[in-house]
Structure 1
Amino acid sequence: MSAIRAIRQLTASSSRVLAARSVSRVVPRATIPALRSAIVPARAFSVSARRFGEGASDVALAQKLAEELQYEKEAEVDAEPDFLKAFKAQNIWQLEDIAGNDEVTLTRKFGNENIRLMFSIADIQQESEFEGEEETEEEASTSYPIRCSFSITKDSAPGALTIDAICQDGSFIVDNCSYYNDKRVGTELTADADWKRRGLYIGPQFDTLDITVQEEFEKFIQERGINESLALFVPEYAEHKEQKEYIEWLANVKKFIEA
């Protein structure tokens, strides 16, 4: 979720809370039902005013979606922002992003190795909840922790090395490293491969390894481009994609409601 949208939601939520508190302090509780009954008829839609589907709320919902869509389009950044242009110009990682999907894939060659990175923009939506009304814009713009999965395979070997990590604040924090004798089991995104992986040993927690092993392993992955530069790109691109998908979602839902 974009920082702008998150702050708008926080402001709207705070306003609703303040409004509710004001009513409860000024209006006696016994008179609230009467006020509600007086207000509802003025806001209700008549049957003749209905459009689109059969619901009386269709028009109002479509209007709100249109307003939100217009706002997001006005705030939308370029289709290809500078950070993305710079990333592509390096010509190290190849970006695979399918519109409508929440997963992004980056691939590259390193010697005789094939390296794949996958991450999901769903982590942005899960981490975008504010913890309180005192949240500031600066706090809201901090890097989101995004789970990443790397796989390394070799043309000359049958196995696969997979690395699960968290990307945040310009670094990858490795959780564990697994090795699979069968390359397909380790890398395929199928139900059958996933079922087979569940019954296999995935390796120790990375932070339980000898410190010297951890250090050498970190050098190993950094040499393959799994470094600070990539760790800064992942959350930035994730938010860029989430914003694009949100705008498309607004347009699709609006179109469906109006059909």
Structure 2
Amino acid sequence: MSAIRALRHVSLSSSRAFAVRGAARSVSRAALPVFAARAGPVSSRAFSVSARRFGEGASDVALAQKLGEELQYEKDSASEAEPEFVRNFKAQGVWEIVDTPGNDEIALSRKFGNENIRLMFSVADIQSEQEADFEQGEEGEQAAEDTPVPSQPIRCSISVTKTGTNGAINVDALCQEGAFLVDNISFYSDAAVGTELTAEADWKRRGLYIGPQFDTLDVTVQEEFEQWLRERGITDNLSTFIPEYADYKEQKEYVGWLQQVKTFIEA
């Protein structure tokens, strides 16, 4: 189970923006390839037993070739150098990026006084955006070209612990359109229960009170929480970086997937 989804399923409704909203980030992505049934007869390429390579399947060579073409296209389209927006983010020296190849989740961590702050998000939301865009195109409901396309919200799980003090505050939020939208703020008296990404910790969290919906709190309490989060770096700049990095991460993982599958087919 995804660590973020294990920490909390975040509702997409009843959320309140607390960061300064930036300009809408329009993301244009290629439609995902699909298998479509063809009406007419399909000519097939004959593979003799002597001409086969790799496994015993007649389609192995053709599939490996197509994977290789897609892999080469992706490599030619992308620069091997780290993007400038990532270099600039790291140069600020505020957040450390924890990005493990093969994982679909990214963690940003930092120290703030005696506090340890961790923010986690996943590329799964980028994949959901691709599926939504494809379904929209199928139904013929695409927006006009001059209409800004809103970015898909990305779920974020923020945890705050203190060195030498037990307990943890967890914030469930959405990152969209240059703003963080808080869903709820939970407190765990046991920091391990609130922050560990294990099945045991997840099981313990399920039976605990997670706090009120954020937008049901008194407005002045909401405003003070918003300021509290901004002081810890949960700002509009960070909300702009997260969708960009999720897109960059998803592309890296896709290229790696192509290479691994091609290698397996050819073995």
Number of the residue aligned with 1:132: 137
Provide TM-score, normalisation by structure 1. Answer: 0.83
1:78 positional shift: 4.1
Deviations 1:208-243 (A, max 9, x none): 112221111111101110010100011101111111
Number of the residue aligned with 1:28: none
Deviations 1:179-225 (A, max 9, x none): 00001111111111111001101111111112221111111101110
Matching residue within 238, 244, 255 for 1:236? 244
Question: Could you tell me how far apart the structure 2 residues matched to 1:95 and 1:234 are?
Answer: 11
Question: Could you tell me how far apart the structure 1 residues matched to 2:254 and 2:152 are?
Answer: 17
Number of the residue aligned with 1:163: 171
Greater helix share, structure number = 1
Letter in 2 for 1:146: I
Matching residue within 101, 104, 113 for 1:102? 104
Question: Could you tell me how far apart the structure 1 residues matched to 2:137 and 2:147 are?
Answer: 11
Deviations 1:71-99 (A, max 9, x none): 00011134311101110111001111111
Deviations 1:105-148 (A, max 9, x none): 11111111110001111111112122115547887974231100
Matching residue within 234, 258, 263 for 1:255? 263
Give 3-state SS (helix, strand or coil) of 1:43's partner.
coil
Letter in 1 for 2:216: T
Question: Could you tell me how far apart the structure 2 residues matched to 1:234 and 1:57 are?
Answer: 40
Larger Rg: 1
Number of the residue aligned with 1:183: 191
Number of the residue aligned with 2:19: none
Question: Identity rate of aligned residues, in percent?
Answer: 63
Q: How many residues align?
A: 234
1:49 positional shift: 2.3
Give 3-state SS (helix, strand or coil) of 1:132's partner.
helix
What are structure 1's unaligned runs of at least 5 residues? 24-31
Number of the residue aligned with 2:230: 222
Question: Could you tell me how far apart the structure 1 residues matched to 2:179 and 2:208 are?
Answer: 28
Matching residue within 78, 84, 95 for 1:76? 78
Deviations 1:135-194 (A, max 9, x none): 478879742311000000111420000001011111110111100000111111111111
What are structure 2's unaligned runs of at least 5 residues? 1-26
Give 3-state SS (helix, strand or coil) of 1:221's partner.
helix
Question: Could you tell me how far apart the structure 1 residues matched to 2:75 and 2:184 are?
Answer: 40
Provide TM-score, normalisation by structure 2. Answer: 0.81
Alignment of 1:169-208 (within 5 A): 169-208=177-216
Alpha carbon RMSD of aligned pairs, Å? 2.2
Question: Could you tell me how far apart the structure 2 residues matched to 1:139 and 1:64 are?
Answer: 35
Letter in 1 for 2:82: E
Please say if 1:144 is aligned against 2:146: no
Q: Which has the higher contact order (CA 8 A, sep 6+)?
A: 2
Q: 1:241 to 1:141 in 2, by over 3 A?
A: farther
